[in-house]
Amino acid sequence: DSLDERISREEELRRHDQNVIDEQEPEQRQRQNTPEMQAEERRAAAFDRLLRHGFGELTAEERQAVKELRAQGTTP
């Protein structure tokens, strides 16, 4: 009985999680298409490459993205 209750509870939690995911998916897709999100993804990819390979291995576009990222982290 206890096992059946736990299985039932797990299935209920999975259904709930899937419902939340299904509700948020259109909103997340819409956010991904914005120029701001695309720029953020570009900067994140450039930063990842910087950490893994160093500044010398970055392309000109990636260097610019890292500079933008660094500029955002400063305060006037």
Verify that 22 and 56 share a domain, yes or no: no
CA angle centred on 40, ends 34 and 42, rounded to 5°: 105
**Containing structural domain, residue 12:** 1-33
How much is the mean pLDDT over the chain? Answer: 85
Q: Answer yes or no: do 22 and 43 share one domain.
A: no
Q: Quick one: pLDDT at residue 25?
A: 81
Of 30 and 60, more confident: 60
Is the overall model pTM greater than 0.85, yes or no?
A: no
- Together in a domain, 55 and 19: no
Same domain, 40 and 75: yes
3-state secondary structure 13-72: HHHHHHHHHHHHHHHHHHHHCCHHHHHHHHHHHHHHHHHHHCHHHCCHHHHHHHHHHHHH
In angstroms, the CA 25 to CA 7 distance is 27
